[in-house]
Structure 1
Amino acid sequence: MNHNFYIIDDDKGIRKVLKNIIDQYNLGDVVGEAEDGIKAIEEMKVLKPHIVLVDLLLPGMDGIAIVSAIREAGIRTNFIMISQVISKEMVSKAYTKGIEFYIHKPINVIEVVSVIHKVKEKMRMQEVIHSFERAIHSINVLKEYTGEKEIQVVSDKDRIKKILSQLGILGEAGSNDIVEMLLLLLAQDEGTRGRLLTQKISDLYEMLNQRYRDAYGIVMNIAAIEQRIRRAINKALENLANLGIEDYSNDIFVKYSNSLFDFKEIRKQMDYIRNKSNYGGKISVKKFIEGLLVELKIDRENIA
């Protein structure tokens, strides 16, 4: 697959350097470039590039605002942030808004090529997963068409995706990582699973990375896996808080606000959304994963 790139930087020289790297290393085609966010957003809505390299600090509209606007417009693309800024807070905010990787200026050719290859690996992994899902869907449609009857079996993957859908995060990039992590844990016996959940969360990320290597032949970046998962869970926290504000007795809010999160963090997020606080709620990846395992167990027992 030939990937299309879009470059956003107010420095014409930087745009030229990035374009030359993409051309020289046959990474894909640069379909457009811009020096400001307004032009970039309008063009990207039409061009729908696979990968966007965007500067953090731009006149008028910064890179984070551009990422947010494209996400809100429903355009699925992969963002690589480029900047001289080294502030951990700014970098963290950029990841939260939806970037995949961060490249520091001055531009280093090896780093640019490496990061782009990692983004491509992530895209390939998602396509493999989607192709499996499309194949399964096609089989089910064929069975329906031919009138073949069989007992419906709900897989663990379907159960996980149902919960993520209820939380409003099935479309998030990190949802695939959450599904794969849960399937990895469910494949273990109860004793091993319990021991794994007492270990550092970084150990689970490493195991997930190993799963990607073994199952799909893809080497992922552990930091990127962590950021995607945290971004998806943060989105779930935000969605639940909004549900609670609209209807405190909402079934999904009641069901998941305590099992997947610390309820006081949900309350903090609700206060933040209502502008009653300067700080939102915090997440615990481990509590979220443990809570999902409990919900899956309950669902299994109910079906049985």
Structure 2
Amino acid sequence: MNTSFYIVEDDKVVQNILKRIIEKNDLGDIIGSSNDGGKAIEDIKILKPDIVLVDLLLPTVDGIKIVSKVKETHEDVTFIMISQVSSEEMISKAYKNGIEFFISKPINVIEVITVIEKIKEKVNMSKVIQSFEDALKGIRRIDHVPTEKKSKEHSNEDKIEKVLAQLGILGEAGVKDIMEIILWIIEHMEEGKNNLPKYKLSDIYKYLCDKYSEEEGISTNTSAIEQRVRRSSIKALKNIANMGIENPENEIFVKYSSTLFNFKEVRNQMNFARGESDQSGKVNIKKFIEGIIIDIKDE
């Protein structure tokens, strides 16, 4: 499903520019627009767009009021504020009321596209997490009849998938590799103990090459596996950092920001995402993998 947009802007020229940017760059579907704040509030509550582009200075009802009113009942609507206002106090107030990003006028096309794509990534991640949680609730509702106990490995797979879903990376190419690495390590842990075995990631990558070749006829190499795992774990870091920017008290952010990553690197990534630093965060693959193992073993 495409990302849906609603535009609140009293300047028709700016409104049309934003529409063209979204349509020309295939960023999503525009499901409504308005130049009146009061009407916009009612429309947004009914239409429930994923992202709202809203001007700060509007007649009758200003942008901050729109954000706070909508957020009272629709917390999942994401707001990007666009304005020529330069007052730090006003911008700070806008963030406190729930905007995700502030773009200064005059409109810079590249900046608008970059911000929207970044926000879309977070919106899609939230949808994945929500759908996963809804699926789990549905399973619990219908699975009221006792069934045969799942195998240990299958149970571990479910737990790993849950963590990866919370990190927003279930669709990444390296997820299968991460799953196999974790299952290999768990299999080689001493029975009844939580002590991790001694291992080298390079050896496990080689093991996976052989396994994929023998069981699935897939030819690959250790470098390809390593790159897939690294890209997926970096994506997880980016998602966690974005959660922390959006809400430092987010349960997933609090739970994983220091157990799967070095928190200093999470902070570096948060600063990078805000544009406050040119140095992004880094991932320690072993810490990431072993953090997931510790998490699922503690359940």
TM-score by length of 1: 0.54
1:221 equivalent in structure 2: 273
Q: Is the 8 A contact 1:184 1:208 kept in 2?
A: no
Q: Structure 1 regions of 5+ residues with no counterpart? A: 159-172, 210-219, 225-299
**In structure 2, what is the equivalent of residue 100 of structure 1?**
100
Q: 2:50, 2:123 within 8 Å by CA — same for their partners in 1?
A: no
Give the AA of the match of 1:88.
E
Contact 1:38 1:61 in 2 (8 A): yes
Aligned to 1:206: 268
Report SS of the residue matched to 1:68.
helix
Aligned to 2:256: 183
The alignment partner of 2:145 has SS state of helix
CA RMSD of aligned residues (A): 3.8
Q: Which runs of 5+ in 2 are unaligned?
A: 151-158, 164-245, 277-297
Matches within 5 A, 1:232-271: none
Superposed CA deviations along residues 207-247 of structure 1, whole A, max 9, x for unmatched, are: 679xxxxxxxxxx93579xxxxxxxxxxxxxxxxxxxxxxx
Per-residue CA deviation, residues 10-67 of structure 1 (Å, 9 max, x unaligned), is: 1111101111111111111212111120111122222111111000111121100010
Could you tell me whether the CA contact under 8 Å between 1:45 and 1:75 is conserved in 2?
A: no
1:206 Cα offset (Å): 3.3
Counterpart in 1 of 2:83? Answer: 83
1:11 is matched with which residue?
A: 11
In the alignment, is the contact (CA less than 8 A) between 1:36 and 1:61 conserved in 2?
yes
SS at match of 1:130: helix
Partners of 1:16 and 1:111 in 2: CA distance: 17
Contact 2:49 2:77 in 1 (8 A): yes
Q: 1:223 to 1:77 in 2, by over 3 A?
A: farther
Q: Which has the larger radius of gyration?
A: 2
What aligned pairs does 1:253-292 form with structure 2 within 5 A after superposition?
none
Q: Quote the Cα distance in structure 2 between the aligned partners of 1:132 and 1:143.
A: 16
Q: % of aligned pairs identical?
A: 47
1:205/1:222 contact within 8 Å kept: no
- Tell me the secondary structure at the aligned position of residue 185 of structure 1: coil
Q: Distance in 2 between matches of 1:97 and 1:80?
A: 12
Q: Could you tell me how far apart the structure 2 residues matched to 1:20 and 1:187 are?
A: 41
| Aligned equivalent of 2:55 | 55
**Larger mean Cα displacement after TM superposition, 58-67 or 178-187:** 178-187
The 5 A counterparts of 1:106-121 are 106-121=106-121
Instruction: Specify whether residues 70 and 23 from structure 1 end up closer, same or farther in structure 2 by C-alpha distance, changes over 3 A only.
Output: same
1:144 aligns with: 144
TM-aligned CA distance change 1:147 to 1:175, over 3 Å:
farther
